[in-house]
Amino acid sequence: MIWFTLLLLQTVVNPEILERGEKIFAQSCATGYCHGVAGAAGRGPRLRGRSLDRNRVSEVVRNGIPRSAMPGWKDRLDEQDLSATITYVMSLVNSDKSVSAELPIPPPGDPTNYLNFTGPTEIKKGRDLFFDATRTPQCSTCHSSGGRGISIGPELVGSLAVDQELFLSVVRASRSQHVLTATLEDQSVFPALRFEQNENWIKLYDLTSAPPVLRTFETGNIVSLLNTLSWSHELVTQDYKDEEIGAIFKYLDWLRSQK
């Protein structure tokens, strides 16, 4: 009886912790881009109604999964918020698999069109680099082209630099006018792209790590959202050689010529 009572106490979850975890999950994980409403699945796997190991969930939430779309949160959330989020995810184990609300998931594009590329060989090299899944991140993590990729950052083909050298200098050194610095009520700061907002809430892509995560905040939680010109592509293109960036330029320039 004593053993059963102790076990029961260990499984009781503080409702305030669960509520906090649910709020964080809704802000940062519950989109079609990630795990869907209440863990019902988006492009990320379904969490709701699955058998999950808490240690594994804790490891993945904190450190992410290398070479995947799952980022680590240990540098974005404090320990209490991490624990609350893990607790909420574990609470989904016994939940019904279905939920009433679903968020739209961006179309993935036609894989046949990607595999059956019929352009010039030298252009295919740049195309393959643009979508190279072995790079973290690859260009298609934030940009789309030819109907593939994720349209987080601006469309590249229409705004492409006039020549390869200028494109290289923009990628290596230029400070982005699109990326903002977001400061929250809890004083956390992160680079962000504005996605959508109204008078009550704002959705931002958090660029702390790749891939960016779409997070939703009540307007009052945002202290400031400023263009500080503190972010550049140099931070995410260190694994690319100059000639590889040149090949990517040729691919984008070729796409522009096809329009």
- pLDDT score of 245: 92
Average pLDDT, rounded, for the chain? 77
DSSP letters along 63-88, please? H--TTSS----TTTS-HHHHHHHHHH
213-218 and 201-206 as β-strands: parallel, antiparallel, unpaired?
antiparallel
Please report, rounded to a whole number, the percentage of residues in the chain having pLDDT higher than 90. Answer: 11
DSSP letters along 222-245, please? EEEEE-----BGGGT-TTS-HHHH
Per-residue pLDDT tens for 238-258? 888 999 999 999 999 998 888
Under-70 pLDDT residues of the chain: 1-13, 30-33, 35-44, 67-69, 94-116, 210
Per-residue pLDDT tens for 149-159? 777 887 788 77
212 in Cβ contact with 252 (< 8 Å): no
Whether this model's pTM surpasses 0.85 = no
